[in-house]
Structure 1
Amino acid sequence: MDAKTPAGATPSTTDRLLDATEQLLAEKGIRATTMTDVAERAGVSRAWLYRKFPDKPALVGAAIIRLIEASWAKSRAELSTLDSFEDQLVAGVHIGRRAYDDPGTLLLRLRTSEPDEFAACAGAGVHELVPDLAGFWYPFVAAAAADGDIHPDTDLPEASEWVARVMISLGSVPGQHIDPDDPASLRQHLRRYVLPGLRMSPAGE
């Protein structure tokens, strides 16, 4: 049984397909991994695979996003130890970047060895990442509203989605004016733009 499947549980077909995809990506890389390889490794028909994932970018993208989500899940406790919402946001960006940049990780190997293929497939999977990452941030946003770090009338689901989008952008999209690897630069950006937006009244007062 794969390590991602709890003891006593049977992995779903989607989990089996993503487990097989991760194994093949680790062994062969993106270009050399085929849909047929994945179906055979997972023990399903190609027709069933295409019912779940319409093409290879969607499949590989889902595997990439699951790897990123696993990194976030492990980091929930890390963010929970921090006292302020600002500190949690700073740490969140660093955690997101770490998911791509930790030496020896599958994500880093794929990104550096096949950058074009990685970018295309990661983009295909991002539509699944936003709602999941918003759900990850929801309790931290709710706690910030309760503690007075942001406006108490903040629309929590909407704000959580916005925070998720900010995390994705700062964690993965290069820019010219913000260095997300420099804590001072990152904190300044958050204080100037992100936190003031969250502290405004939702009614625009």
Structure 2
Amino acid sequence: MEENFQKAVAGRLTVRGEKTRSRIVTTAADLIRVRGVGGTTLDDVALVSKVSKSQLYRHFEDKPALVRAVIDFVGERRIAGERERLGNVRTFAGLRRWRDAVVETNALHEGKYGCSLGSLANEVADQDAIARKKLHELFTAWEELFADLLRRFQQDGLIPQDADIDQLATGFIAALQGGYLLAQTSRDVTPMATALDVSIAHLSLLSREPSEVV
């Protein structure tokens, strides 16, 4: 039903309508980032995005529909950014630079707000099956970026050919998300840095090159 609604809306949107929809989604994403899904109402979104409630409902039939659009928006932006940052990493030094950038970015708010996708998953995965599926697909795409990086490490002889790439990629995602959560609750990025350091150290040990060990 929602899919048909969104297709019908998309089919009749003008350029102005596209801009209005984009503004609503961007505003909702910003509010949810700070207040969470539960703490963000449609009234809040309408007020901050400077649209009427009737305008908002012309684009989204209810709050779950808007939240799903936010997941798409946040997810595409996050995966695109990680693809750019991880796509050319071919050395342990490059992987550590990625780690430093992630930790430093999260330190700007002392770990507050956590991971944009992880926070959404915590709030909606058990209440909205469609949203959960979207989030699962996004995390799978993110994990695949790590898997691609690790395959490059294999090709370049940095880790053994028999290393379990899928397992290692899952481990990186788990360390990253766990790090975000620990940093968020402690308001300190040190646990996040530690979690990522342990993952990189484990990878270094697989190389069996003492000089590579952290």
User: TM-score, normalising length from structure 1?
Assistant: 0.51
Paired residues of 1:130 and 1:161 also in contact (CA < 8 A): no
Q: Aligned to 1:90, which of 80, 90, 96?
A: 96
Deviation at 1:149, TM superposition (A): 1.5
- The aligned counterpart of 1:74 is 81
Q: CA deviation at 1:81?
A: 5.0
Residue number in structure 2 paired with 1:43: 58
Does 2:183 correspond to 1:179? no
CA distance in 2, matches of 1:119, 1:187: 16
Q: SS where residue 46 of structure 1 aligns? A: coil
Structure 2 CA distance for aligned equivalents of residues 87 and 32 of structure 1: 41
The one-letter code sitting in structure 1 at the alignment partner of 2:179 is: L
Closer, same or farther: CA 191–120 of 1 in aligned 2, 3 Å: closer
The one-letter code of the counterpart of 1:74 is G
Give 1:34's aligned residue: 42
Deviation at 1:142, TM superposition (A): 0.7
Identity %: 12
Q: CA deviation at 1:45?
A: 5.2
Counterpart AA for 1:46: E
Residues in 2 aligned to 1:144 and 1:25: alpha-carbon distance in whole angstroms:
35
Q: Check 1:69–1:170 CA distance in 2 against 1; reply closer, same or farther (3 A cut).
A: farther
Structure 1's 139 and 69: CA in aligned 2 closer, same or farther, altered over 3 A?
same
Report which of the two structures shows the higher radius of gyration computed on alpha carbons.
2
Contact persistence 1:17–1:42 (CA under 8 A): no
User: C-alpha separation between the residues in 2 aligned to 1:135 and 1:27?
Assistant: 29
Structure 1 stretches of at least 4 aligned residues deviating more than 6 Å after TM superposition: 15-19
Separation in 1 of the partners of 2:23 and 2:106?
19
Correspondence 1:1-205 to 2 at 5 A: 20-26=24-30, 30=36, 31-34=39-42, 40-41=55-56, 43-44=58-59, 46=61, 50=64, 59=67, 63=70, 66-67=73-74, 70-84=77-91, 86-97=92-103, 100=106, 102=108, 111=113, 121-123=120-122, 124=124, 127-174=136-183, 179=190, 189-190=198-199, 192-196=201-205
Contact 2:179 2:192 in 1 (8 A): no
Secondary structure of the residue aligned to 1:173 is helix
CA distance in structure 2 between the partners assigned to 1:170 and 1:194 by the alignment: 17
Letter in 1 for 2:98: G
Aligned residues: CA RMSD: 4.9
Change beyond 3 A, Cα 1:39–1:139 = farther
Q: 1:82 to 1:132 in 2, by over 3 A?
A: closer
Unaligned segments of structure 2, at least 5 residues: 1-9, 12-17, 47-52, 126-134, 209-214
The residue type equivalent to 2:80 in the other structure is A
TM-score, normalised to structure 2, is 0.50
Cα deviation digits, residues 135-177 of structure 1 (max 9, x gap): 222221110111122221234334323322222223443399x
